[in-house]
Chains A and B, each alone.
Chain A
Amino acid sequence: MTTSELAPALEREEAADPFELAGETFRSRLLLGTGGVPSMEVLERAVHASGTQLVTVALRRVEASSSGAMLEVLDRCGVRLLPNTAGCRTAREAVLTARLAREAFGTSWVKLEVIGDEQTLLPDGVELLDAAEQLVAEGFTVLAYTTDDPVLGRRLADVGCAAVMPLGSPIGSGLGIRNPHNIALLREAVDVPVVLDAGIGTASDAALAIELGCDAVLLASAVTRAREPERMALAMRRAVEAGRLARGAGRIPRRWHAAASTPMQGLPEL
């Protein structure tokens, strides 16, 4: 069955369980990053297969930027743009980048990213919180990329972030969710949507994020750098759907030892 044949059924499932974010309603719980995409054709097919309605983009010096074709593709796909502040290392840089992105993309939504370490690209919590507070005060809808620290997550929600987006593991690492307990604790700690952002390697990671209580998943490399991005995009979409069903259905408690599922009563003596 092809991706397009599957889409109507998936759309019906998704529509029955919408995702509310900053007063907007989304059918899809999958946010897609464009970073690492090999071509515009691949991007368009991956966006369709993923069913995403919210796609991240970035700003760079004009001579290093992609051609205007990317935005044409995204316009055609009918997705909403979510500019990021990737590469910023201080609150000052991130606030200025968000303002520039608002000018360029005409949206006050921003994926706020303030990096504190070159090797791991881990967020700098101090600069992040400072930038978040300033941007909220300027009327931005701030989706904060953060560590999986539940206390920092709560502080970001307290200053008015529209969503808290903890990493599963470092950006582009594909290491999955290294501390599922923290993700579940963070989910408990805040009332705003939690979006698992960064570290997703394959479909089971996305399903786990949703099973842990995340409201949505943001991923880029796992799809754009997969051998077959369109297929992986569909896998992620179905993983999010499966995770959501499982979360709603209620998993069984974990036990140390076995609990037989076949009754012992009536066991013959042979």
Chain B
Amino acid sequence: MDVTVNGAPAELTDGATVADLVAERSGGHDRVAVARNGDVVPRSSWTSTPLATGDVLEVLAPTAGG
């Protein structure tokens, strides 16, 4: 299925969940947060939240900031 991840088009396996996306994209970060279509997906729902074609996803991680 075609989705948008962090501003860029991406293709994910049909049936993929938020947990699958995080596993693919988190780059070793364990404190990651995910927004799907403008809403937070709580960590507790990652495995039970399937993604859908057209989803707009943001996968975020800590960085330095004032």
Q: Which residues in A have some Cβ–Cβ distance to B below 8 Å?
A: 33-37, 43, 56-68, 70-71, 84, 86, 96, 99-101, 103-106, 171-172, 198, 218, 220-221
Q: Which residues in B have some Cβ–Cβ distance to A below 8 Å?
A: 6-7, 25-35, 38-40, 42-43, 58-66
Beyond A100-B60, A104-B61, whether A86 also contacts B66 by CB under 8 A is yes
User: Taking CB as reference atom, which chain B residue is nearest A101?
Assistant: B33
CA distance A58 to B64 in the complex (A): 6
Return chain A residues, CB-CB under 8 Å to B39: 96
- Do A62 and B29 touch (CB < 8 A)? yes
User: Taking CB as reference atom, which chain A residue is nearest B7?
Assistant: A61
Q: Tell me the smallest distance from the CB of A74 to a CB of chain B, in Å.
A: 9
Q: Tell me the smallest distance from the CB of A20 to a CB of chain B, in Å.
A: 23
Q: Tell me the smallest distance from the CB of B25 to a CB of chain A, in Å.
A: 6
- Do B6 and A96 touch (CB < 8 A)? no
Residues of A contacting B: mostly:
mixed
Q: Which of B6, B28, B43, B66 contacts A171 (CB 8 A)?
A: B66
List 14 A–B pairs whose Cβ atoms lie within 8 Å, in order of A's numbering: A37-B64, A58-B64, A59-B62, A60-B63, A62-B26, A62-B27, A63-B27, A68-B28, A96-B35, A100-B34, A100-B35, A171-B66, A172-B66, A221-B66
User: Taking CB as reference atom, which chain A residue is nearest B58?
Assistant: A61
- Do A58 and B42 touch (CB < 8 A)? no
- Do A105 and B58 touch (CB < 8 A)? no
- Do B64 and A57 touch (CB < 8 A)? yes
- Do B59 and A61 touch (CB < 8 A)? yes
- Do B33 and A36 touch (CB < 8 A)? no
- Do B35 and A62 touch (CB < 8 A)? no
Q: Tell me the smallest distance from the CB of B6 to a CB of chain A, in Å.
A: 4
Return chain B residues, CB-CB under 8 Å to A59: 33, 60-63
Return chain A residues, CB-CB under 8 Å to B6: 61-63
Q: Tell me the smallest distance from the CB of A222 to a CB of chain B, in Å.
A: 10
